Chain A
Amino acid sequence: MKVLVPVKRVIDYNVKARVKADGSGVDLANVKMSMNPFDEIAVEEAIRLKEKGVAEEVVAVSIGVKQAAETLRTALAMGADRAILVVAADDVHQDIEPLAVAKILKAVIDEEQPKLVIAGKQAIDNDMNATGQMLSALLGWSQATFASKIEIEGEAAKVTREVDGGLQTIEVRLPAIVTADLRLNEPRYASLPNIMKAKKKPLDEKTAADYGVDVSPRLEITGTREPEGRKAGIKVGSVDELVAKLKEAGVV
């Protein structure tokens, strides 16, 4: 079967996001960008399915600015077979909303006909946690979000999900969308030879217009600000002093 993995180019996990002084957004110019960490987990899972002989081909797809080609090269270096870049924005500060991303992915999926889509559960920039669910709705497919384990059994996938209060296991009929949570796996690093090989793997370039999808945002961002700061309090010298302070504050 074919597995499709959407990947997003986002601010690197280790870089602190800084709000621009004019309140127009978070500064992304000259900031290190990487693959969204949850998407790395999704790519890793797809590659493991291929290594187990369950999947025959892994296709990575990214929607955004031209520079997302680098993110796709990372997916190829990890082990994806080929990649599709859908250019939908010119400005690195323009985020394509999950609804528009889902519409483009649906069009890609109509052509590619994968049996399984593994996506990250959430992108660490807009923190929407929505693309997988929205895509599944548009396709009329089943969905298994926040996966910590995926087992393919014939025409179905058994997925263990991380939910409030514990774990839930469900069985979804294929084709299906699964979204990856943190504990699904630990993604590999691409080796240098694989990074070299990735440069020769096919990467198709398309545009949102090729699929006839309008990517204009439904949510107008009218402002971005720093969260309210919290002031440091006091250091106490002993447990007795701490207990006294907590009693004073009325919290114990």
Chain B
Amino acid sequence: MAVLLLGEVTGGELSVDATSKAVAAVKALGEVTVLCAGASARDAAQEAAKIDGVSKVLVAEDARYGHRLAEPTAALLVSLAGDYEHIVAPATTDAKNIMPRVAALLDAMIISDVSGIIDAETFERPVYAGNAIQTVKSKDAKKVLTVRTASFDAAGEGGPAPIEEVAPADDPALSKWVADEVAESDRPELTSAGRVVSGGRGVGSKEDFAIIEKLADKLGAAVGASRAAVDSGYAPNDWQVGQTGKVVAPELYVAVGISGAIQHLAGMKDSKVIVAINKDEEAPIFQIADYGLVGDLFSVVPELTEKL
């Protein structure tokens, strides 16, 4: 059977990491066709064609797909859905916006945040903020799912697969893009970074978050934050790691001043090596950390930054 996978295209560029992990997750289900849609999408299609396991790339280049609005992209996916049993996307905010809409239009129940694939109709996914893993068997003719990328390794390079143009679908024109406010950063993207340094409520203020950022920059890491730090206004919401934020699984995760609430652990416990720095030796974060250091972050973190 065949799989249609929505590639993550932002500003004409393919998010290779997210797309490639989603391809690796589903390639056992059948031939994978990647759809790249955007105001400019041809470069993204070239990149997608090089992902191992991709048998074909469809490119839909049109202004209506330029700002990642849910309605036109969902209409496009539905117009192409006929040939496929599985319709898949990496679980990014864009896909979480689009895919349930696609599922409802196909009268199927969305299977969100899949963390394991058992067979063509059976999937594992975390529920209750990662406190339980549920196995679900879909009875729908078409399975629409989003894939939790942190649970899968990226596919290698292969191909190149052939690229075909597809015509845009009718645009329901229900919404209009107004503005994007992109956080400019030279740091790696949080969900695909090999190293992440996160700060929690213990950091104490927006100004003191600079300590976290300095350590991150020394390590070439992305910066993350706990929900408590975000709610306190120390860090922007798109840095949030956890069930209500981003799910990450880097090689190295450094948690600074983070107590380890369940909802935070759900977003980072698949990291390979976890380091915790906290002045409270009873903090739950130490129960999952590979290396724990009990101490005052305001002296420990600058020292660590200097000695690395």
Residues in A neighbouring B102, C-beta threshold 8 A: 137
Give the distance to chain B from A131, nearest Cβ to Cβ, in Å: 8
Which of A133, A169, A251 meets B272, CB within 8 Å?
A251
In the docked arrangement, what's the CA distance between A160 and B86, Å?
Answer: 31
Once the chains bind, are B94 and A164 in contact (CB under 8 Å)? yes
Once the chains bind, are B128 and A134 in contact (CB under 8 Å)? no
Other than the given A129-B96, A233-B292, 14 more pairs (CB < 8 A) read A99-B108, A128-B100, A133-B70, A137-B104, A143-B175, A163-B94, A169-B177, A181-B237, A182-B244, A218-B109, A231-B288, A232-B287, A242-B304, A251-B195
Residues in B neighbouring A167, C-beta threshold 8 A: 180-181
Once the chains bind, are B136 and A219 in contact (CB under 8 Å)? yes
**Secondary structure type dominating chain B contacts:** mixed
Q: What does the 1/0 interface line of B258-301 toward A look like (CB < 8 Å)? A: 00001000000100111100000100001111111110000010
Q: Residues on A close to B: CB < 8 A?
A: 11, 16-19, 26, 97-99, 102, 122, 124-131, 133-138, 140-146, 148, 158, 162-173, 176, 181-183, 217-227, 230-240, 242-243, 245-246, 249, 251-252
In the docked arrangement, what's the CA distance between A142 and B304, Å?
Answer: 50
Give the distance to chain B from A93, nearest Cβ to Cβ, in Å: 13
Once the chains bind, are A218 and B183 in contact (CB under 8 Å)? no
Give the distance to chain B from A206, nearest Cβ to Cβ, in Å: 22
Give the distance to chain A from B109, nearest Cβ to Cβ, in Å: 4
Q: Taking the complex as formed, is B219 at the interface, i.e. its CB lies under 8 A from any CB of chain A?
A: yes
Q: Which residue of B has the minimal Cβ distance to A164?
A: B93
Q: Which residue of B has the minimal Cβ distance to A157?
A: B175
Which of B100, B111, B289 meets A134, CB within 8 Å?
B100
Residues in B neighbouring A227, C-beta threshold 8 A: 126, 130-133, 269
Q: Taking the complex as formed, is B120 at the interface, i.e. its CB lies under 8 A from any CB of chain A?
A: no
Once the chains bind, are B127 and A235 in contact (CB under 8 Å)? no
Which of A26, A124, A166, A234 meets B183, CB within 8 Å?
A166
Once the chains bind, are B304 and A164 in contact (CB under 8 Å)? no
Q: Taking the complex as formed, is B85 at the interface, i.e. its CB lies under 8 A from any CB of chain A?
A: no
Once the chains bind, are A252 and B137 in contact (CB under 8 Å)? no
Interface residue range, chain B:
35 or more
In the docked arrangement, what's the CA distance between A45 and B98, Å?
Answer: 24
Once the chains bind, are A249 and B273 in contact (CB under 8 Å)? yes
Which of A18, A127, A183, A251 meets B126, CB within 8 Å?
A127
In the docked arrangement, what's the CA distance between A238 and B277, Å?
Answer: 11
Residues in B neighbouring A19, C-beta threshold 8 A: 131-132
Query: Contacts A98-B100, A162-B93, A249-B273 known; A17 to B131 CB distance under 8 Å?
Result: yes
Residues in B neighbouring A176, C-beta threshold 8 A: 174-175
Give the distance to chain A from B193, nearest Cβ to Cβ, in Å: 13
Can you pick out 29 interface pairs between chain A and chain B where the beta carbons lie within 8 Å of each other?
Answer: A16-B131, A16-B262, A98-B110, A129-B100, A130-B100, A133-B98, A133-B104, A134-B100, A134-B101, A143-B97, A145-B96, A162-B237, A165-B183, A167-B181, A169-B177, A170-B178, A176-B174, A218-B109, A219-B136, A220-B138, A225-B133, A233-B274, A233-B290, A234-B292, A239-B303, A243-B307, A243-B308, A245-B291, A249-B273
